[in-house]
């Protein structure tokens, strides 16, 4: 061993011989020696072996800074001062003014490495392996406070509550200000011993030592939740988020507190934020799953208790106003899909029609079709609307590509069934390739309407589960070409990536994709995301073309632009005749008087109702009106929202007009109901009855 000059700078040892130096981490400081407490650099003599198994320091000291009565007592104090994680150095007092200190850095380094490996294993849930490493670290360095704390946490996770508590107490005996040990002791008392008051003392001790600690704030809030002091708990956890806006526990705690209070909207809001912003933490790896469970539970409860049908129909009427169109709804519980759109121009008629089946998450499906309609109308106004269809020529291209495969299938199941299968696969593949990219845009637009998010999440989650099951079920069907099965999986993964982006729910790996398929899905999704930066109505078709072309499937489609068509239907002709008969200039005065009388009755009935109840009646009248209302019909019309009443045609029209005049007066012109004079007369009659001038 040679003699070297040792320079200590901020805990880093640099040994120097001439101009060359090699740096090593040091596990000690020199603040206790002589004047080094106030100096950034201290020089002493050191011997160091080649492997850094130990560091030997010879240092001048000022013994007066230690409260020692003799040399042995001084030696003990120096040993205690320089012990690191319970690994004491060897101390030899050479004289009244100098001391030799030998540090076993190899043992300490191994103990720290074992601790860090154990911490990583804990975050993976591999507690037995972590426990073995922690026990080795503690055996090497008995005073390693954090190793005792983490071992206590492992034991607690494994259900050994008392043993876990003993280890954490040992950690606190070694270091009473060990923040993680204080928090862990609070957690054990709160969750293992159900002693919330005792836990609170440990959490508040953390705040005393570390007042700006998010974890401590959150744990104090946790005890308040247990005491049902929800408002106070929420304040603490919001403070924690101000310090660390990625702390999942705080989002979960706030959402849980709001949920327990019955405030589902705020519970959903904070659970959603946590799912997107929160990160996994080694100290509590399971909290994210609990947060996601709460998010889904809250979404389902909101969806179940909210009248989304009225909100969806209200959105439809806003589209009618915005684009100057008419949207009709037709319920058909026998159809296969929950909802589908018939775009007026494609069917050579004036009205757009949404046909729906009242089942499951049908309101989301109707909303999806309405949002798609909104995008199509916007694209049409922008001159970019396209039809995406497939013809016999496209089908022939498909058959040519898979001729060899279907020739083999014919041998197994026969020509007729093979041909039917080919048509089925072609239609299914074409629809999925067409819809998957466009649906990304539709659902993104729905997400931007925050009030529909609980409904959207509930529906997309159910859809995701169904998609995963479908992919698994077809995986081993030999009659399906492998490339079609792969394309189906890939396009379903796009929906999963959107669900992950919007709500933080990640199901992509449940499709068990290859790395190449995962890369391709991410590539396609990025095409969609990049288009959002400078999106113009109609750009969605370019994204479809890019994906279909990259997949080599664009030849299965026929694309063409669409011009706005003007079509006068039989329905339009009937409406014109109705308006002519009831026009104020030509209408029979007796009909106007009769309608005003019915409207007075409607106004008096609505006086007892809340605005939202009147709006429900308005939307229900609109639904009934989709199938036409015969003014001459004497009875037989019913409204669920006006129970026990039988309406004639004119009386129903009166309720129809008045409900919209009250709830959405801006929509009256769109109703095309020529009863403005009757409505004014009705208001005058009602005012007169009240003695108003």
Is 350 domain-assigned?
Answer: no
Write out the H or E segment, with its range, that includes residue 673. Answer: none
Q: Are 116 and 256 within one domain? A: yes
pLDDT in tens, 596-636: 889 999 999 999 899 889 988 988 888 787 677 888 888 88
Helix, strand, coil proportions of the chain in percent (round to 5)? Answer: 65, 10, 25
Which segments of 407-474 are extended strands (E)? none
The phi-psi region of residue 332 (left if phi > 0; otherwise alpha if psi is between -120 and 50; otherwise beta) is beta
Q: Are 79 and 157 within one domain? A: no
Q: Are 253 and 281 within one domain? A: yes
CA dihedral (182, 187, 189, 195) in degrees, to 10, reads: 120
pLDDT in tens, 83-141: 666 677 777 777 777 777 777 677 778 888 899 899 888 878 889 999 999 999 998 88
Q: Are 79 and 205 within one domain? A: no
Helices 196-209 and 214-226 cross at an angle (nearest 10°) of 160
pLDDT in tens, 251-306: 999 999 999 999 999 999 999 999 999 987 766 668 999 999 999 999 999 999 99
Query: How many C-beta atoms surround the C-beta of residue 683 within 10 A?
Result: 17
Q: Are 83 and 185 within one domain? A: no
Q: Are 549 and 628 within one domain? A: no
Q: Are 149 and 50 within one domain? A: no
The mean pLDDT value for 411-430 works out to: 90
**Of 73, 78, 57, 68, which Cα lies nearest the Cα of 15?**
57
Is 324 domain-assigned?
Answer: no
User: Residue 533, Cα to own-chain centre: how many angstroms?
Assistant: 21
Q: Are 530 and 609 within one domain? A: no
The mean pLDDT value for 510-539 works out to: 93
> CA dist 90 to 25, 68, 335, 569, Å?
19, 18, 85, 101
**Residue 486: its pLDDT value, please?**
92
* Structural contact between residues 26 and 11, judged by C-beta atoms closer than 8 angstroms: yes
Range of 685's domain? 570-689
Regarding predicted confidence, which is higher, 276 or 575? 276
**Of 495, 490, 487, which Cα lies nearest the Cα of 425?**
487
Is 311 domain-assigned?
Answer: no
Q: Which residues contact 213 (CB under 8 A, 6 or more apart)?
A: 179, 206, 207, 243
Q: Are 492 and 507 within one domain? A: yes
Per-residue pLDDT at 575 exceeds 60: no
Is 371 domain-assigned?
Answer: no
**Of 148, 195, 140, which Cα lies nearest the Cα of 170?**
148
Which of these three, 46, 74, 103, is where a domain ends? 103
Rounded distance between C-alpha atoms, residue 97 and residue 63, angstroms: 7
Rounded distance between C-alpha atoms, residue 13 and residue 546, angstroms: 59
Which of these three, 56, 88, 103, is where a domain ends? 103
Regarding predicted confidence, which is higher, 618 or 74? 618
Rounded distance between C-alpha atoms, residue 455 and residue 462, angstroms: 11
Q: Are 179 and 85 within one domain? A: no
Whole-model pTM: value is: 0.65
Q: What are phi and psi of 340, to 5 degrees?
A: -150, 155
Rounded distance between C-alpha atoms, residue 92 and residue 70, angstroms: 14
Is 78 domain-assigned?
Answer: yes
Q: What CATH number does the domain containing 130 carry?
A: 1.25.40.10
Q: Are 390 and 516 within one domain? A: yes
Q: Are 112 and 241 within one domain? A: yes
**Of 428, 414, 503, which Cα lies nearest the Cα of 461?**
503
**Number of domains composing the chain:** 4
pLDDT in tens, 187-228: 899 889 988 889 888 888 888 888 888 888 888 888 888 888
pLDDT in tens, 626-681: 677 888 888 888 998 999 899 998 899 999 999 989 988 877 776 778 888 889 88
Which range is least confidently modeled, 22-36, 113-127, 436-450, 465-479? 22-36
Is 29 domain-assigned?
Answer: yes
Is 361 domain-assigned?
Answer: no
Beta bridge partners of 388: 559
Query: How many C-beta atoms surround the C-beta of residue 388 within 10 A?
Result: 18
**Of 210, 222, 140, 221, which Cα lies nearest the Cα of 181?**
210
Which of these three, 539, 561, 583, is where a domain ends? 561
Is 281 domain-assigned?
Answer: yes
pLDDT band at 69; cut points 50, 70, 90: confident
Which range is least confidently modeled, 317-321, 364-368, 489-493, 664-668? 664-668
The secondary structure of 533-584 as a DSSP string is: TT--TTTHHHHHHHHHHHTT-GGG-EEEE--------HHHHHHHHHHHHH-T
């Amino acid at each position: 061993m040679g003699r070297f000059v040792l320079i200590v700078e901020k805990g880093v040892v640099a040994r120097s011989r001439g101009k060359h130096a090699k740096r090593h981490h040091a596990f000690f400081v020199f603040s206790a020696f002589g004047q080094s407490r106030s100096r950034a650099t201290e020089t002493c003599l050191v011997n160091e072996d080649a492997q850094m198994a130990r560091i030997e320091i010879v240092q001048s000291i000022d013994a007066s800074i230690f409260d020692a009565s003799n040399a042995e007592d001084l030696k003990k104090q120096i040993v205690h001062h320089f012990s690191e994680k319970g690994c004491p150095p060897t101390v030899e007092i050479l004289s009244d003014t100098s001391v030799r200190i030998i540090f076993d850095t190899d043992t300490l380094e191994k103990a720290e490495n074992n601790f860090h490996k154990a911490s990583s294993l804990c975050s993976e849930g591999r507690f037995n392996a972590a426990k073995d490493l922690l026990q080795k670290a503690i055996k090497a360095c008995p005073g390693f406070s954090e190793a005792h704390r983490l071992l206590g946490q492992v034991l607690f996770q494994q259900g050994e509550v008392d043993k876990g508590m003993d280890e954490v107490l040992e950690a606190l005996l070694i270091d009473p200000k060990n923040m993680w040990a204080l928090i862990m002791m609070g957690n054990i008392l709160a969750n293992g011993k159900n002693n919330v008051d005792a836990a609170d003392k440990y959490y508040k001790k953390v705040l005393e030592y570390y007042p700006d600690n998010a974890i401590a704030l959150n744990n104090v809030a946790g005890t308040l939740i247990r005491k049902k002091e929800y408002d106070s708990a929420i304040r603490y956890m919001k403070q924690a988020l101000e310090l660390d806006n990625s702390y999942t526990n705080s989002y979960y705690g706030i959402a849980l507190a709001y949920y327990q209070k019955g405030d589902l909207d705020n519970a959903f809001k904070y659970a959603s934020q946590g799912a997107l912003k929160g990160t996994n933490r080694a100290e509590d790896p399971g909290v994210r799953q609990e947060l996601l469970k709460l998010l889904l539970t809250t979404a389902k409860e909101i969806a179940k208790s909210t009248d989304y049908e009225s909100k969806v129909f209200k959105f439809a009427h806003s589209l009618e106003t915005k684009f100057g169109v008419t949207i009709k709804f037709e319920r058909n519980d026998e159809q296969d899909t929950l909802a589908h759109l018939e775009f007026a121009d494609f069917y050579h008629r004036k009205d757009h029609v949404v046909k729906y089946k009242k089942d499951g998450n049908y309101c989301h499906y109707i909303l999806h079709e309405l949002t798609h309609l909104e995008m199509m109308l916007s694209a049409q106004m922008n001159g970019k609307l396209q039809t995406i269809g497939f013809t016999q020529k496209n089908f022939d291209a498909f058959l040519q590509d898979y001729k060899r495969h279907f020739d083999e299938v014919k041998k197994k199941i026969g020509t007729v069934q093979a041909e039917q299968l080919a048509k089925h696969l072609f239609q299914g593949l074409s629809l999925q390739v067409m819809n998957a990219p466009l649906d990304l845009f539709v659902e993104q637009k729905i997400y931007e309407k925050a009030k529909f998010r609980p409904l959207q999440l509930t529906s997309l989650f159910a859809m995701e589960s169904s998609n995963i099951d479908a992919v698994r079920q077809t995986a081993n069907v030999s009659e399906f070409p492998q490339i079609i099965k792969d394309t189906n999986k890939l396009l379903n993964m796009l929906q999963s990536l959107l669900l992950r982006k919007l709500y933080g729910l990640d199901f992509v790996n449940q499709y068990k994709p290859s790395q190449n398929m995962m890369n391709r899905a991410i590539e396609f999704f990025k095409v969609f995301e990049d288009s959002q930066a400078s999106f113009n109505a109609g750009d969605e078709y370019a994204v479809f073309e890019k994906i279909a072309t990259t997949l080599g499937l664009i030849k299965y489609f026929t694309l063409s632009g669409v011009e706005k068509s003007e079509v006068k239907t039989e329905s339009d002709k009937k409406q014109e005749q109705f308006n002519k008969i009831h026009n104020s200039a030509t209408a029979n005065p007796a009909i106007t008087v009769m309608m005003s009388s019915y409207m007075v009755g409607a106004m008096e009935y609505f006086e007892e109702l809340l605005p939202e109840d009147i709006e429900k009646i308005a939307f229900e009248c609109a639904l009934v009106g989709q199938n036409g209302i015969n003014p001459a019909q004497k009875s037989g019309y019913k409204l669920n929202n006006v129970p026990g009443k039988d309406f004639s045609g004119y009386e129903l029209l009166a309720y129809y007009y008045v409900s919209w005049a009250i709830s959405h007066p801006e929509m009256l012109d769109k109703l095309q109901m020529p009863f403005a004079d009757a409505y004014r007369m009705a208001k005058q009659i009602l005012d007169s009855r009240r003695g108003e001038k």
